[in-house]
A = this chain, B = another copy of it.
Amino acid sequence: MSAGPFGFELIRTDGSARLGRMRTAHGSVETPAFMPVATQGTVKSLTPADLTAAGAQIVLANTYHLLLRPGHELVRELGGLHRFMGWDGPILTDSGGFQVFSLSKLRRIGEAGVEFRSHVDGSLRTLSPESAVAIQHALGVDVLHPLDECLAHPATEAETERSLALTVRWLHRAVAAHRSAGASGALFGIVQGGVSHPLRRRAVEETCALGLPGYAIGGLAVGEPKPVLYEITELVAGRLPPDRPRYLMGVGKPTDLVEAVARGVDMFDCVMPTRNGRNGQAFTSDGPLTIGNARFSRDAAPLDPTCPCEACRRFSRAYIRHLFGARELLGYRLLSLHNLTFYLGLMRQMREAIAGGEFGPFRSRFLERYGVEAT
C-alpha cells in the first residue's frame, strides 16, 4: 500500500517507552505526540498560530462532524482541510465510526455500513468502509482511519467477537478502497476487541496482517476501569510491530498519557484539555485546579508559574477566575491555550526523558507531584 511520503522512524526506546518521528507530506511529528482535537475543523477558541505556540505538531479532526458540516465536498472544493482551517501541519482524521455510535440516532448497522440520522439536521446518512475513506480523501488528510464499529462498554464476549469480525471485514474493504484510489495519506488500522484478551490478540493479528503504516488502539476510554485501560493498552502495544506508530484513541488524562507511553504508545488525542478548560479546569504539574474556587479570587499568581503560555505570562488566577465568573469568552480561550500547552509540554518532557534514558524516574516524579487522587 502506498502511503506517499509517510514514514515512521523509531529513534530509541527506554523500557517500553519509545522516542520516534513520524513523517508526513505536511511535516514531521515527534513522538510520543499529543494531537489537539479540531472537532469541526477548529480547536475550539484557538487559531492555528495558537496551536503552534502551544507546541502542537499535528491535529486531529473528526470525519463525522466535517461530513455533516460543512461537508467534505465543500472542503475539497476549497483546497482541502489544511487550507480550509489554515493549519499547514499534519492532520489525522478518525473514521467517523465513534461519533456515529455516540452522537447520532443510529438507524441500522449492516454488512454494508451504517445508516444514521445526522445530529445536526436529522437527515438520513450512510457511512460505508468505502465512503469513509473517500470522505477522508476529499479532506486531504495525512493519516486516515477505516470505518469501525465502536461497541459500548460493557459488552459480552459474543457481542465483542461479532463486532470485531465486522470491523476486520470493513478494514479489508477500506484498504482496498484506499489502494484503488491511489490517494496520498496513510491509512492506519484500528485494533478493536473490547476488554477481552483473546479477542484483542486476534484483532492485533488480523489487523497487522494487512501491513499498514500505523495502528490505532480503539475501543478504550469508553468507561472501562483504569486498570483495564492500562492492561489492554499494554497487551496490544506489546504485540504491534515496533516499526509502526501506535495511536491510543481518545486518551486521556495526563497520568494516562504517562502510563500509556510507559507501555509503548506513540500518539494520543483527547478533548480533555480544551473541554475541561472551557469548564474552568486548569491542568498544572501539581494536578488540576478549578479556577472558580474562591481561594483564587485574589490570587495574583499565574495558573502555573513554570508555564510559558500567554495565559500564564500575562494574567493572574484572579483575573481568569473573574473571566469565568463573568462567562467571558476570553476565559475559555485562555484555559484552552494553557491546558494544551501543558499537555504538549508534558509530551515534550516525556520525549526528552526517553532520549536521556530517564523515562522511569520522570514517570515516578511526575506521578508523585501530579498526585494520585488527581488521575
- Quick check: A297 and B328 within 8 Å, CB to CB? no
Which residue, of A45, A74, A325, has the highest number of chain B Cβ atoms within 10 A?
A45
CA distance A314 to B49 in the complex (A): 10
A298-B77, A322-B41 known; A84 and B316 CB under 8 Å? Answer: yes
- Quick check: A322 and B69 within 8 Å, CB to CB? yes
CA distance A70 to B42 in the complex (A): 31
Stretch at the interface among A20-28, A157-165, A329-337: A329-337
Nearest 6 A-B pairs (CB), nearest first?
A: A45-B329, A86-B314, A70-B322, A40-B326, A42-B330, A42-B328
Judged by a CB distance under 8 angstroms, whether A44 is at the interface is: yes
Judged by a CB distance under 8 angstroms, whether A300 is at the interface is: yes
- Quick check: A298 and B78 within 8 Å, CB to CB? yes
- Min Cβ gap A340→B in Å is 14
| Residues on B with beta carbons closer than 8 Å to the beta carbon of A44 | 328-330
- Quick check: A79 and B314 within 8 Å, CB to CB? no
Q: How many copies does the complex hold?
A: 2
- Quick check: A78 and B330 within 8 Å, CB to CB? no
| Residues on B with beta carbons closer than 8 Å to the beta carbon of A297 | 70, 74
Known: A65-B326, A74-B318; 11 extra A-B contacts, CB below 8 A, are: A42-B330, A44-B329, A44-B330, A45-B333, A47-B310, A47-B330, A69-B325, A74-B297, A74-B298, A84-B319, A329-B333
- Min Cβ gap A338→B in Å is 13
| Residues on B with beta carbons closer than 8 Å to the beta carbon of A86 | 314-315, 319
Judged by a CB distance under 8 angstroms, whether A199 is at the interface is: no
| Residues on B with beta carbons closer than 8 Å to the beta carbon of A70 | 297, 318, 322, 325
- Quick check: B77 and A326 within 8 Å, CB to CB? no
| Residues on B with beta carbons closer than 8 Å to the beta carbon of A332 | 329
CA distance A328 to B49 in the complex (A): 17
Q: What would be 28 A-B contacts, judged by CB atoms less than 8 Å apart? A: A40-B323, A40-B326, A40-B328, A41-B319, A42-B323, A42-B330, A44-B329, A44-B330, A45-B45, A46-B330, A47-B330, A47-B333, A47-B334, A48-B314, A49-B314, A69-B326, A70-B297, A70-B325, A77-B298, A78-B300, A78-B318, A78-B319, A84-B316, A84-B319, A85-B319, A86-B314, A86-B315, A329-B332
| Residues on B with beta carbons closer than 8 Å to the beta carbon of A328 | 40, 42, 44
Which residue, of A47, A77, A322, A328, has the highest number of chain B Cβ atoms within 10 A?
A322
CB < 8 Å neighbour of A84 from B41, B74, B318 = B318
Which residue, of A41, A44, A325, A330, has the highest number of chain B Cβ atoms within 10 A?
A330
- Min Cβ gap A290→B in Å is 17
| Residues on B with beta carbons closer than 8 Å to the beta carbon of A41 | 319, 322
CA distance A77 to B300 in the complex (A): 9
Digit string of A301-345 for contact with B (CB within 8 Å is 1, else 0)? Answer: 000000000100011101100110110111011100000000000
- Quick check: A314 and B69 within 8 Å, CB to CB? no
- Min Cβ gap A148→B in Å is 25
| Residues on B with beta carbons closer than 8 Å to the beta carbon of A318 | 70, 74, 78, 84
Residue of B nearest to A310 (CB): B47
CA distance A45 to B300 in the complex (A): 21
| Residues on B with beta carbons closer than 8 Å to the beta carbon of A310 | 47, 49
CA distance A319 to B38 in the complex (A): 13
